[in-house]
Amino acid sequence: MQAVIINEFGTSDVLKYVECPKPTISAGEILIRTTYTSVNFADIKNRKGNKAKANFPMILGLDVAGVVEEVFAKSSAFKVGDVVLAFPKNGAYAEYVVANEQLVFKVPNDVSLEKAAAVPTVLFLSYLLAHQIAPISSDDSVLIHAASGGAGTMLIQMAKKLGAKKIIGTVGDMRKATIALELGAHHVLTYDNFSAKVNEYTDGHGVNIIFDSIAGNITEESFNCLAPYGTLVQFGNSGGKAGNIKTSDLHSSCRNVKGFSLGTTRASKPEVLQQVAQEMFALLKDESFQVPIANIFALEDMQKAHDLMESRQHQGKILIKI
């Protein structure tokens, strides 16, 4: 089969399009013929060695959409030919992947595969953030950092569906503001002194919920616009630096900070994803729920896909068609 591998950490140049042995399955596993995979920011960090262990050759990628090629057990809930989304065991940038059955999800016939393929990671993540980790209600004002990205565009729409009274997004460049506004954000601003503007938009009260995937000084400044009893959810560090949180930011103001990782949840509590899968597919059936796709690349053009992701000039998801 064809796959994209890395034999060392580094720039996008380390991504190599090669022929590899087709994987085999064992108990509890399914072989999937990949139709689409997507590029997530975690792939960039893994390629650079910021997260992944040096187990080369390595196939990157978190999620796939495709067709079941083989099942191990006759009692499997899946059969050959089923159209599925999955989180594979050993990377997704390949024509065939292996996934544990607990991390495979049947795609309903009335859901576009391209639409579904763009969102396995970001939609599961966003759904859990908005419904379980920091449930959004009609009384809430919400700040979403990286609002034009994959998770950001999902969170805006979920906040809108859940009736948030004010949705504010941040972006690195105001040229990215249009997509966030179209999806339901009331205000979009850059990171420059964003907390002062958020306080202005909320009449000095601040926001009740902040979704932060950037970390670093963005996390630190976020406390300047988080309301008393508010919640900051830290679910990524795309900025590459840790943010410092002081106990004085929390105690008297009754504010709290929650951390969340979809990767940890996939590994430790896969049943959580199964519990919300049908709600996720219901969203994808809704024509008003948009899945912005920035670009679709061929597998052999993975370097270009990574370059686009790192440029931060895209709006929406980057797909790979295989």
Question: For the chain, which domains are there?
Answer: 2-118+291-321 (3.90.180.10), 122-263 (3.40.50.720)
Q: Parallel, antiparallel, or unpaired for β 166-171 and 96-100?
A: unpaired
Say which amino acid occupies 262: L
pTM value?
Answer: 0.93
Angle at 203 between CA 200 and CA 207, to 5 degrees: 80
pLDDT for 235: 97
pLDDT for 52: 73
pLDDT for 240: 83
Both tokens of 6, joined, read 């890395």
pLDDT for 50: 85
pLDDT for 239: 85
Angle at 287 between CA 282 and CA 293, to 5 degrees: 95
Rounded to 10 degrees, the C-alpha dihedral 195/134/111/99 comes to 110
pLDDT for 74: 83
Closest CA to 112 of 71, 139, 70, 83: 83
d(CA 40, CA 65): 14
pLDDT for 316: 81
* Contact (CB, 8 A) for 67 and 84: yes
pLDDT for 315: 80
Alpha-carbon distances, residue 192 vs 131, 153, 211, 309 (angstroms): 29, 21, 17, 22
Q: Parallel, antiparallel, or unpaired for β 64-71 and 83-86?
A: antiparallel
Cis amide bond preceding 57, omega within 30: yes
pLDDT for 313: 81
* Contact (CB, 8 A) for 233 and 245: no
Q: What is the largest CA-CA distance in the chain?
A: 61
Those residues of the chain that have pLDDT short of 70 are none
